[in-house]
Amino acid sequence: MGMLDGKVAIVTGAGNGVGRGEAIMLADHGAKVVVNDLGGSVSGEGSDKRAADAVVEVIKSRGGEAVANYDSVADYDGAKGIIGSAIDAFGRLDILVNNAGILRDKMMFSMSPEDFDSVVKVHLYGAFNTMTHASQYWRNESKEGRQPRAAIINTVSSAGLQGQASQINYGAAKAGVAAMTIIASLELSRYGVRANCIGPGGATRMVAQAMKIEVKNPEDYTEFEAMNPGNSAPAVVWLASDEAQHVTGQVFRLVGNNLALYRPWEMGEQFLAKDKEGNPKPWDPSDIGRIVNRYVFQSENPGIDAQRRS
């Protein structure tokens, strides 16, 4: 028995790198897989059906079931076609992995609106487009009495969660994807749909140029190597499975053998401005400096009446 027997999965951008490893491992664990890939360049130019076709062949050669889809996630109607591929080929959808991505790195003062737009279109709109169509399908299923046990797994990056110079387009999109995932987890739980993120890593064509390293397909590694982009796939398989039924709205990172869970944005220390009688009063700008320097940067006496909110 595979962990994902009976489930149907879509992996976007599964023709190369991280998504390729995820599609193959999902199939190895019993899922039927739609291998979506537009087949363009790292910067998002052109298209080629061979990227998706090759992965379908790999999955079939390992005894799995898969079909190819070549639509662009950046296109709203294309995304509808991707969801439709799963229903047409396998009669259902249980797992949506949004992985497709492109890069156009530049410092903001050199970045054209087109470079900003095209990256946001694939990562942020791409995830929105597929999630929208998939959630309409799952909501209908739920309303007709077939409550889904479904999972969305979106792909994020430290560039968005921690920041990276030269990636203002990509970082903004990835931070947005993390925010959309948390919102999706809130909106879709009543329909049996969970939504989580994975931050992957590995020597893919996307990062190879910068790192000057060889790019191999995940299935071509014969022993453990930290840079195998297939190393991130086990987190996707588990998050997609019913074993993770209690897990939603979370951001995981799995790179090499290093598994981590991101902490969410949370409210830090809070301070209330008060007058001498203890009544609430507006903040004075320089009082803000004194309080923040004293309690947050620990450098100066605040010198006003202020009370830490417990």
Q: Which residue number, 31 or 35, has a Cβ lying nearer to ligand NAD?
A: 35
Q: Which residue number, 51 or 182, has a Cβ lying nearer to ligand NAD?
A: 51
Shortest gap between Cβ of 175 and ligand NAD (angstroms)?
12
Q: Which residue number, 50 or 190, has a Cβ lying nearer to ligand NAD?
A: 50
Say which of 125, 137, 170, 221 is annotated catalytic: 170
Helix (H) or strand (E) segment spanning residue 95: strand 95-98
Q: What one-letter code names the amino acid at 30?
A: G
184-189 long-range contacts (CB < 8 A, ≥24 apart) are: 184/131, 184/135, 184/152, 185/248, 185/249, 186/249, 187/135, 188/135, 188/138, 188/152, 189/248
Helix (H) or strand (E) segment spanning residue 9: strand 8-11
191 in catalytic set: no
Shortest gap between Cβ of 173 and ligand NAD (angstroms)?
9
Q: Which residue number, 19 or 30, has a Cβ lying nearer to ligand NAD?
A: 19
Are the C-beta atoms of residues 83 and 130 closer than 8 Å to each other?
A: yes
Closest CA to 160 of 129, 198, 212, 131: 198
Query: For 78, how many CA atoms within 13 A lie in the half-sphere containing its CB?
Result: 17
Integer Cα distance of 189 and 304 in angstroms: 46
Can you tell me which residue has the tokens 């990276």? 164
Shortest gap between Cβ of 208 and ligand NAD (angstroms)?
9
Closest CA to 23 of 78, 95, 127: 95
Are the C-beta atoms of residues 29 and 1 closer than 8 Å to each other?
A: no
Closest CA to 239 of 227, 230, 251: 251
Shortest gap between Cβ of 275 and ligand NAD (angstroms)?
50
Which parts of 233-305 are beta strand (E)?
Answer: 251-255, 258-261, 271-273
Shortest gap between Cβ of 8 and ligand NAD (angstroms)?
18
Shortest gap between Cβ of 286 and ligand NAD (angstroms)?
42
Integer Cα distance of 252 and 199 in angstroms: 6
Q: Which residue number, 181 or 291, has a Cβ lying nearer to ligand NAD?
A: 181
Q: Which residue number, 39 or 64, has a Cβ lying nearer to ligand NAD?
A: 39
Q: Which residues are at the interface with ligand NAD (CB under 6 A)?
A: 12-13, 15-19, 36-40, 42, 44, 51, 72-74, 99-102, 122, 126, 155, 157, 199-202, 204-207, 229
Residues that are catalytic:
170
